Structure 1
Amino acid sequence: MSRVAGRGSPSPASEADRRWLREAIELSRRCPPSDTAYSVGAIIVAGDGTRLADGYSRDVDPRFHAEESALAALAGSGGGSAGLADATIYSSLEPCSSRRSRPRTCTQLILAAGIGRVVFALHEPPLLADCHGAELLGQGGVEVVEIADMARLVRDVNAHLLPPGADGG
């Protein structure tokens, strides 16, 4: 099942969406373990299907989130944020909208970068924060696609934080 947050009708996920999201979930398996943070992977893909950058939680800094890391990698490669309106960021978990460890949330960073589309598998469970990332991105004009039938894979990676039934899924 796929749905677009903040929009009226469901948007079908393409095979490419599923492939990139599966890769983001696989990246999340590389995350250093944490009892206080989710393991998340993120990949930024250009409108033409070219992989621009990727990252995962805690890959370069213990406070880094996956989307933040991917955006920093993109900026570091000279890719900047020019022309990202046609780009998609694939994130295993809904981008955060609340953050203690940094001044800007992943939702704010995505909006500031001008990325036009976000695809994720699992809404952030309310275990660590009250997240409204998908809603805020939709309000900001970003197309937000949830591929809920892949959420189980994200729950599996985060089983250390999400015992069965803890997130309602």
Structure 2
Amino acid sequence: MTDLQSTDERWMRRALALAERARDEDDEIPVGAVVVDADGNVVGEGWNRNIAECDPSAHAEIVAMRRAGAALGNHRLIGCTLYVTLEPCAMCAMAMVHARVARVVFGAFDPKTGAAGSVFDLLADPRHNHRVEVAGGVLADIAGPMLTAYFRARRGKGGA
């Protein structure tokens, strides 16, 4: 395992812990995100808060990027890597482009709405003035089953 792979797994495990908080504390879809600066410091964390905040934009990535921007005192997250347990959707992917995130590392692929290569490839689109490096499938063997179990349990309750 390379140093980069080891680092990616370390931060993905933190994102997975945040996803568990989303599920266990808020009964939200278990997605967690961590923003790490170029020096390896966590500058923002978040988990899905759509239901708790009655906010359709409160995805884990958006929450983490808002906190990172506040911590850095800048709307640009230059040199930062965003770790998230699920492939970003179109909204989150474009927020990363606008924030100039350097790299996104995600866990589970999203074959329905993934915008980092599964359905759309917004992060690599050459028409944008910034492209985000993508690494997918990191600890997908943990992130994927966590999401599957959540949705199975919700369907059993008559929910989503």
TM-score, with normalisation over the residues of structure 1?
Answer: 0.72
Distance in 2 separating the partners of 1:56 and 1:131: 17
Within the alignment, does 1:154 sit opposite 2:143 as a pair? Answer: yes
Distance in 2 separating the partners of 1:33 and 1:76: 26
Distance in 1 separating the partners of 2:124 and 2:144: 24
Structure 2 counterpart of 1:142: 132
Report the CA distance between 1:147 and its aligned residue. 3.0
Report the CA distance between 1:155 and its aligned residue. 2.3
Report the CA distance between 1:81 and its aligned residue. 3.0
Report the CA distance between 1:18 and its aligned residue. 0.7
Q: Confirm or deny: 8 A CA contact 2:96 2:132 kept in the other structure.
A: no
Within the alignment, does 1:88 sit opposite 2:81 as a pair? Answer: yes
For the aligned residue pairs, the C-alpha RMSD in angstroms reads: 2.5
Identical residues among aligned pairs (%) = 30
Distance in 2 separating the partners of 1:22 and 1:79: 26
Structure 1 counterpart of 2:108: 122
Within the alignment, does 1:17 sit opposite 2:8 as a pair? Answer: yes
Q: Confirm or deny: 8 A CA contact 2:116 2:134 kept in the other structure.
A: no
| Aligned 1:104-119 pairs, distance under 5 A | 105-119=91-105
Q: Confirm or deny: 8 A CA contact 2:30 2:150 kept in the other structure.
A: no
Q: Which runs of 5+ in 2 are unaligned?
A: 154-160
Q: Confirm or deny: 8 A CA contact 1:47 1:87 kept in the other structure.
A: yes
Q: Which structure has the higher relative contact order (CA within 8 Å, separation 6+)?
A: 1
Distance in 2 separating the partners of 1:76 and 1:85: 14
2:32 corresponds, among 41, 50, 56, to 41
Distance in 2 separating the partners of 1:138 and 1:51: 25
Report the CA distance between 1:125 and its aligned residue. 3.8
Query: Structure 2 vs 1, CA of residues 155 and 147 (structure 1 numbering), >3 Å: closer, same or farther?
Result: closer
3-state DSSP class of the match of 1:29?
helix
